[in-house]
Amino acid sequence: MSPPATTTQTGGSISLPTAPGKTLSTSAASLPVSSRRVNGNGLDVWTLFNQLTQRYGAVNLGQGFMGFPAPQFVKEAGREAVMDESTTQYAPPRGKPELRNELAKRYSEAFGRTINPETEIVVTAGGNEGLLCTFAAFLNPGDEAILMEPAFDQYIMNLKMVEGVPKFVPLTVRAGVDPTQGVISADDWELNIDALRAQITPRTRIIVLNTPHNPVGKVFTREELEAVAAIAQEHNLVVLSDEVYDRLTYEGRPHLSIATLPGMWERTVVACSAGKAFGVTGWRIGWTVGAEALMTACLRAHTSYVFTVNSPMQVAIANAFKVAHATGFFERQRDEYLARRGRLTRALDAAGLSYTMPHGSYFVLVNAHNVRIPDGYQYPPEVADKDACYKMCYFFTREIGVTGIPPSEFYSTPNAHLAQNLIRFAFCKPDDVLDEVARRLQRVKAFTKSDA
Ligand code: PMP
């Protein structure tokens, strides 16, 4: 049986329109009730930590938006596209041909197969809408999708929208590696393939894979992808491969799409983001790539959710890709991110904090096991009833002056303890911000356990 819908609304009486010509006067007891798809637990983590950042004047390394200006050539492409009369009306639901053609070229090279821009690409409103469309396309209510924890929180919200059921398998730190002893590698976070297999039921339809991974920074290896691919084929599952950070891998780590493994093209939806690729998260352009049958299903969902994505920014991204490839932009951008990663990790080293060195994406997972929050420390009501991970992040915002996001938000309730002492910092920020973070992180030393 479905749980009853609840509402958080309170207040006096309002008038609700009913049948034409009639008005129903009602009291708070009969106010409209929201559906269980949108029920929540109050303030979301992003809003809460943005508010706390403001309140305490902290430096915000919480949310993963870029703190530096978008590249000039991308903005120029945006300006030109808006002024181009051909972009002022609806794009085809599948996306502007200019962008699909450009993407087909890029993904044909990257995937080693000819991608058909007419049938194998759908342009979406950011990577996120591609994820939502894929869930909607392949899940009936009650069907299950397997998520690897820590998992980007939007997966769960999207699943709720389509009444899909998340099942969880945690990535865990390799036996013999102590995450509290300095720096560990994102490679040390492993997927236990038997644990993944154990989550499969007759209702399982999708495995969600995220490489490069947010927040661990793990770039899955061919062997790991092969193991996931074998299970997907054995159980006839779709793999939703979230590759929004595909252009941000470091130290020569190759990003490998599971879609390119034998037998996987027919069952993989790859979701990508121009926001991450070009530093324009506000433009809300993304795309899904996959076999025609998969894209036909995604397109139906997409046509129903948003019908079509804004035209000018699609054309702008198509043109930005051309410039980017002609000028080596992605290689330059990768070096810039690598330098930012170095700035943040050197600051963590100097503060005596342990962390996972990411090989992709722009997040660092800090393990603040040695930071001792003073006994009797007071938390505001919005944090007081939260877990230890939230409290540690609050402490960092208030006392250290640096905001991160509590990774317990990326775990299911039974596994949230795995996030204890963890803080996610985003390093997609300018040098002066990261330098200020370095100064502030020195304050950690006043709270470091001497026995740690
Ligand atoms: N997947 C992951 C793992 C992400 O981190 C994000 C953005 N934070 C998205 C998808 C969504 O990307 P977009 O902003 O293009 O919707």
Convert the chain into a string of H (helix), E (strand) and C (coil).
CCCCCCCCCCCCCEEEECCCCCEEEECHHHCCCCCCCCCCCCCCHHHHHHHHHHHHCCEECCCCCCCCCCCHHHHHHHHHHHHCHHHCCCCCCCCCHHHHHHHHHHHHHHHCCCCCCCCCEEEECHHHHHHHHHHHHHCCCCCEEEEEECCCCHHHHHHHHCCCEEEEEEEEECCCCCCCCCEEEHHHEEECHHHHHHCCCCCEEEEEEECCCCCCCCCCCHHHHHHHHHHHHHCCCEEEEECCCCCCECCCCCCCCHHHCCCCHHHEEEEEEHHHHHCCHHHCCEEEECCHHHHHHHHHHHHHHCCCCCHHHHHHHHHHHHHHHHHCHHHHHHHHHHHHHHHHHHHHHHHCCEEEECCECCEEEEECCCECCCCCCCCCHHHHCCCHHHHHHHHHHHHHCEECECHHHHCCHHHHHHHCCEEEEECCCCHHHHHHHHHHHHHHHHHECCCC
Rounded-to-integer distance, Cα 318 and Cα 105, Å? 11
User: Which residues make up the CATH 3.90.1150.10 domain(s) of the chain?
Assistant: 45-64+330-447
Share of the chain above pLDDT 90, in %: 90
Q: Is 236 left (phi over 0), alpha (psi -120 to 50) or beta?
A: left
Task: State both tokens at 60.
Answer: 């915000």
Candidate of 135, 214, 240, 255 to mutate for ligand 1, largest count of ligand atoms within 8 Å of Cβ: 214
Structural domain 72-327, CATH architecture: 3-Layer(aba) Sandwich (3.40)
Q: Using only the alpha carbons of the chain, give its radius of gyration.
A: 23
What is residue 43's predicted lDDT score, i.e. its pLDDT? 82
Q: For residue 276, how far is its CA from the centre of ligand 1 (angstroms)?
A: 8
Instruction: Tell whether ligand 1 has an atom less than 6 A from the beta carbon of residue 361.
Output: no
Give the range among 9-13, 227-231, 242-246, 418-422 with minimum mean pLDDT.
9-13
Token pair of 144 as six digits: 């299950």
* Closest approach atom of ligand 1 to CA 276: 15
Closest CA to 111 of 291, 232, 281, 249: 291
* Ligand 1 neighbourhood includes 279 CB (under 6 angstroms): no
Measured from the CA of 129, which atom of ligand 1 is nearest?
Answer: 16
Lowest-confidence segment of 3-12, 25-34, 65-74, 123-132 by average pLDDT: 3-12
Residue 18 has pLDDT above 50, yes or no: no
What value does the mean pLDDT take over residues 25-53?
A: 84
Range 258-276 average pLDDT: 98
Answer whether 208 contacts ligand 1 (Cβ < 6 A). no
What's the mean pLDDT in 173-193?
96
Q: What is the pLDDT of residue 449?
A: 73
pLDDT of residue 450: 59
pLDDT given for residue 1 in this prediction: 34
Give the pLDDT score at 42.
Answer: 73
Ligand 1 mutation pick, 123, 245, 276, max ligand atoms within 8 A of CB: 276
Distance 270 CA to ligand 1 centre (A): 13
pTM of whole model > 0.95? no
- Using pLDDT thresholds of 50, 70 and 90, give the confidence band for residue 74: very high
**Ligand 1 in contact with 124 (CB < 6 A)?**
no
| pLDDT one-digit tens code per residue, 117-152 | 999 999 999 999 999 999 999 999 999 999 999 999
Mean pLDDT of 399-427: 96
Closest ligand 1 atom, CA of 281?
Answer: 14
Euclidean distance between CA atoms 109 and 107, whole angstroms? 5
**CATH number assigned to the domain with residue range 45-64+330-447, chosen from the 4 options 3.90.1150.10, 3.40.190.10, 2.60.120.10, 3.20.20.140:** 3.90.1150.10
Q: Return the pLDDT at 5.
A: 38
Residues of CATH 3.40.640.10 domain(s) within the chain?
72-327
Mean predicted lDDT score pLDDT of the chain: 93
75-98: average pLDDT: 98
Q: Which one, of 89, 17, 151, 147, lies nearest residue 419 by Cα?
A: 151
Of 363, 208, 204, the residue nearest 270 (C-alpha): 208
Q: pLDDT at position 17, please?
A: 44
CA of 450 to the centre of ligand 1 (A): 39
- Closest Cα to residue 54, out of 43, 62, 64? 62
Q: Is the CB of 360 under 6 A from ligand 1?
A: no
248 lines ligand 1 (CB under 6 A): no
